[in-house]
Structure 1
């Protein structure tokens, strides 16, 4: 069995590492990471990616892949999307694995912002293994939500709603099924399948009795987000409590909610509540990303998407950045990062 594949430049290997990283789960406490091991001629010796919390990190997976191929990685270069970790968590430090394998150099695309996991490059340097940071847009995009969460010490928050052209979340009689069409609803379920948790207020639970499950394609997906109910009212007996994968946070302060979820290792959260819950997160500047599904529908009356945000002048308006529009059947999804959330 040959140990080498077609030669790659370091830049080409990083492109490959990013593609490998995308195989990992978008949800969970750990980021998606990919690694490619090269010999001095640029031949690929091994490659791997992180498959989720508790599994081998990308560097360890790549070393194991090389061994399976009969390749000797001593003197090779590890090209990895994230700075190798320097701490023991569910698995051992990647810096130790790389050192013990005889890797001679490391190139990484994103610095690890974790309080305990960062510093791997410095540790490698003390062992005579140079570790070079080389930025890569793909690697940054792939880890954006996780990086933001780690830097802020709270979950990355996506505020999601479906609304009419005139900004209504429901009709005057309270009905909201369905504002958007099947394509938009299926897309929203796909987003649920990529996050750690989904939150609504007690009012939404009492009025709509939602399942809060991820059902892309109409079927329950293999990953289900933690169901979070915000507020003090009793919601017992509702579908959200059908099993133990749900939690109540008896508070109206979004910071309490995020702190409680952070302790549970939630790194990404979709807030799907009504105007009260959405407005609370927006007022506190705790929304990082907005997903607004807009239907070509007019109601003229009914609850608006958000309540008073305390904004009195256009100069203080929350303005979306890095905006993307995606047609979904007759509807349009607007994705935007908020200026306070970047």
Structure 2
């Protein structure tokens, strides 16, 4: 059987990745090994991820990293072990050069959450396009496409992995952006506008909720 994957999206709009994976795997999960890039979070006493693995009769669980939040760290690992599952944590129970590389990948994919846990501020990405002479728009305020189609697609992909998009009121008034992922099949983040005078035009694309 080919590997079965589950993906957890921002803002909890989809079931936990563990549930997606066991539902896709069906009966093939019995006695199988599952690999998690991070220990499941037990937020608000929600044990759905752990329960899904137990009920699917998973036999072995390999965890990339422990949960970065101290109050959640180790909870799911202990819960799984208490249910008789064999749980291994990379770097603790399993060690090798390949394991070190796998750990790096797990840290990278969970970087935003790790940043939030360690710094207590959201992980933010500044996005802008600039000409070779350091300009992002003409002196008149008029802006044209500086970036390429490929880079804009990359932006939509990045937005699809974000909880929110934040822009200023001037951007809404001058550029009238959609602030959507353009039907890319990605998660749709919250759109946030920072303005002091609330002078946003009523015809702005911002108010179009058809893709939200």
Q: TM-score by structure 1 length?
A: 0.47
Listed as ranges, the matches of 1:61-80 within 5 Å are: 61-69=20-28, 72-73=30-31, 77-80=33-36
Q: Aligned in 2, Cα 1:84/1:204: closer, same or farther, shift over 3 Å?
A: closer
Aligned to 1:235, which of 192, 199, 208?
A: 199
**CA–CA distance in structure 2, aligned partners of residues 80 and 227 of structure 1:** 30
Q: Aligned in 2, Cα 1:115/1:239: closer, same or farther, shift over 3 Å?
A: farther
**CA–CA distance in structure 1, aligned partners of residues 76 and 172 of structure 2:** 45
Displacement of 1:103: 4.5
Would you say 1:82 and 2:38 are equivalent positions? yes
Is the Cα contact below 8 Å between 2:173 and 2:204 reproduced in 1? no
Match of 1:108 in 2: 63
Q: Aligned in 2, Cα 1:64/1:170: closer, same or farther, shift over 3 Å?
A: closer
Displacement of 1:163: 0.8
Would you say 1:209 and 2:159 are equivalent positions? no
**CA–CA distance in structure 1, aligned partners of residues 25 and 196 of structure 2:** 54
- Secondary structure of 1:169's aligned partner: coil
- Secondary structure of 1:156's aligned partner: coil
Report Cα offsets for 1:302-321 as digits up to 9, x if no partner.
Answer: xxxxxxxxxxxxxxxxxxxx
Displacement of 1:169: 1.5
Q: By percentage of residues, which structure has more strand?
A: 1
Match of 1:28 in 2: 10
Listed as ranges, the matches of 1:1-342 within 5 Å are: 5=1, 20-21=5-6, 24=7, 27-29=9-11, 53-55=13-15, 57-69=16-28, 72-73=30-31, 77-87=33-43, 92-114=47-69, 117-118=72-73, 119-127=75-83, 129-134=85-90, 136=102, 137-215=104-182, 220-222=183-185, 223-236=187-200, 237-243=202-208
- Secondary structure of 2:124's aligned partner: strand
**CA–CA distance in structure 1, aligned partners of residues 177 and 136 of structure 2:** 16
Q: TM-score by structure 2 length?
A: 0.70
Which 5+ residue runs of structure 1 have no aligned equivalent? 7-15, 31-52, 246-342
Report Cα offsets for 1:131-188 as digits up to 9, x if no partner.
Answer: 2211523333322233333444443211011111121122222222133344433433
Q: Aligned in 2, Cα 1:196/1:65: closer, same or farther, shift over 3 Å?
A: closer
**CA–CA distance in structure 2, aligned partners of residues 242 and 107 of structure 1:** 45
- Secondary structure of 2:128's aligned partner: strand
Displacement of 1:116: 5.6
Q: Aligned in 2, Cα 1:225/1:235: closer, same or farther, shift over 3 Å?
A: farther
RMSD over aligned Cα atoms: 3.4
**CA–CA distance in structure 2, aligned partners of residues 186 and 128 of structure 1:** 45
Q: Which has the larger radius of gyration?
A: 1
Greater shift in the superposed pair: 185-194 or 196-205: 185-194
Report Cα offsets for 1:75-131 as digits up to 9, x if no partner.
Answer: x54432221344556x63433444455545432112112466432113334555452
